[in-house]
């Protein structure tokens, strides 16, 4: 059974990052949206998106990796 789907604002509040950051991660291929709502809003699988954003943030800020390096790691 698929997990709970969150709109970008809900996901933003849950993980403590700006919606623009989530959009950036999605546009850069680091984070995959699960679906689109009827209104065209991006929807994200809660468990996947939360863990993926935490992983991206760790690689970006603790390991100091560039976006292209992170993309290679998360898309394996």
Q: What integer pLDDT is reported at residue 1 of this predicted model?
A: 44
Structure tokens at 59: 């690689």
Instruction: Please give the tally of structural domains in the chain.
Output: 1
Which uninterrupted H or E stretch holds 5?
strand 5-7
Instruction: Tell me the CA distances in angstroms from 14 to 59, 65, 75, 76, one per residue in order.
Output: 19, 24, 23, 26
Among 17, 42, 41, 40, residue whose Cα is nearest residue 32: 42
Residues of the chain with pLDDT under 50: 1
Its domain, for residue 34, covers 5-74
Strands of the sheet containing 42-45, edge to edge, are 5-7, 42-45, 35-36
pLDDT in tens, 29-48: 999 999 999 999 999 999 99
The domain that contains 66 carries what CATH number? 1.10.1660.10
């Amino acid at each position: 059974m698929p997990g709970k789907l969150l709109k970008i604002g809900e996901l933003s509040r849950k993980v403590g990052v700006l919606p623009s950051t989530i959009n950036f991660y999605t546009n850069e291929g680091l984070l995959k949206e699960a679906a689109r709502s009827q209104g065209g809003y991006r929807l994200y699988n809660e468990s996947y998106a939360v863990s993926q954003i935490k992983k991206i943030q760790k690689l970006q800020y603790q390991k100091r990796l560039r976006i292209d390096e992170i993309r290679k790691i998360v898309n394996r």
